[in-house]
Amino acid sequence: MSRLFPFVRLFVVLLVLGALSSCALKEEAYRNAANEEAASSLIKIGDSSFEAENYPPALDLYLRAYKKKPEDATLEKIALTFARMGNAQASYQAYVMLHQKNPKDPLYLKNLAQAAFYAEDFEASQKHYQALLQMDPSDGNRLGAGVVEDVLGHHDTAQNYYRQVIQHSPRHLNAKNNLGLSLFLQGKVTEAESTLKALTERTDTEPRFEMNLAMIYGVSGRSAQAEALLNKYFSVDQVASMLQFYQDYSLLNDEQRRRVVYGFSENKETTAQANAGQDSLKALVAPPASGSPTSSPPKP
């Protein structure tokens, strides 16, 4: 028996270790199941807040859900919620994380290119669109690539993208509208006016086409023609403000003109100041350190 004792002891030790390992695995499985159930509940409540356009609590719930169960679908919700809240930089960070996890997915790359554009990182957006067109040279992606090139001042390149879309889809109104704006930014006012005027004469025209044509009239000093178009959509005070902007347009430099035409502030420093001191999204969605409390919600 004494000879067998070491082996018996070893066998008992192995049994104990096996039991402990089994318990640990069960505890981890229970913990994962609990986290999954909790994350699902948080997402459902977050979706209700999001649908009600109550974005701050929706974001808080999505962040808490992602910490419990980090899934791409939840990170997409976080990115979209940040965008709806006007935090383009944080939304961009979320799409960067999604693309890093799914580098060969063209949808994530498209979202990344768009997010970079709205975060005003135009060079990054340009790079992402060029990579995207290698995967998916569709009309929508060419159109997005053209807008980025326009904002960067590469109008010939932008117009080439728009014309490719029009050649492929002759009824593509957005491409024709963007072509008119690009020609306008390039200083080809007559061609821009002709392009946009043709859009406003269609039965399927849209208000924004007339607004863009009004801008060309106003900047060209034809205030009466601009006012006639604007009166269809805006109040007297709004029209007066827009006509004043058209007069001030000549005071802007080329970069400022490109920015305001595509809806950005004329002062690019404004975005940098607004984003200063923002929390890193990676810090917000990182799982808590071992042993740290998890009861308090993350602060967006």
The structure tokens listed for 188 are 């080809």
Report the pLDDT value the prediction gives residue 285, as an integer from 0 to 100.
64
d(CA 111, CA 107): 6
Report the pLDDT value the prediction gives residue 276, as an integer from 0 to 100.
46
Report the pLDDT value the prediction gives residue 21, as an integer from 0 to 100.
59
Report the pLDDT value the prediction gives residue 72, as an integer from 0 to 100.
95
- With 0-12 / 13-18 / 19 or more C-beta atoms within 10 angstroms meaning exposed / middle / buried, residue 188 is middle
The one-digit pLDDT tens for each residue of the chain (300 residues) are 555 555 556 555 555 556 555 555 545 544 555 556 788 999 999 999 999 999 999 999 999 999 999 999 999 999 999 999 999 999 999 999 999 999 999 999 999 999 999 999 999 999 999 999 999 999 999 999 999 999 999 999 999 999 999 999 999 999 999 999 999 999 999 999 999 999 999 999 999 999 999 999 999 999 999 999 999 999 999 999 999 999 999 999 999 999 999 988 887 765 555 554 455 666 666 655 444 443 333 333
CB atoms within 10 A of CB 44: 11
**Tell me, what DSSP letter sits at residue 288?**
P
CA angle centred on 57, ends 55 and 61, rounded to 5°: 115
CA-closest candidate to residue 119, choices 300, 277, 274: 274
CB atoms within 10 A of CB 174: 19
Report the pLDDT value the prediction gives residue 267, as an integer from 0 to 100.
76
The separation between the first and the last C-alpha atoms of the chain, rounded to the nearest angstrom, is 67
CA 51 to chain CA centroid, Å, is 18
The structure tokens listed for 144 are 């997005």
- The amino acid occupying position 49 is S
**Rounded to whole angstroms, what are the CA distances from 196 to 60, 99, 187, 200, 211?**
44, 37, 14, 6, 10
d(CA 27, CA 19): 12
Report the pLDDT value the prediction gives residue 266, as an integer from 0 to 100.
81
pTM for the complete prediction?
0.79
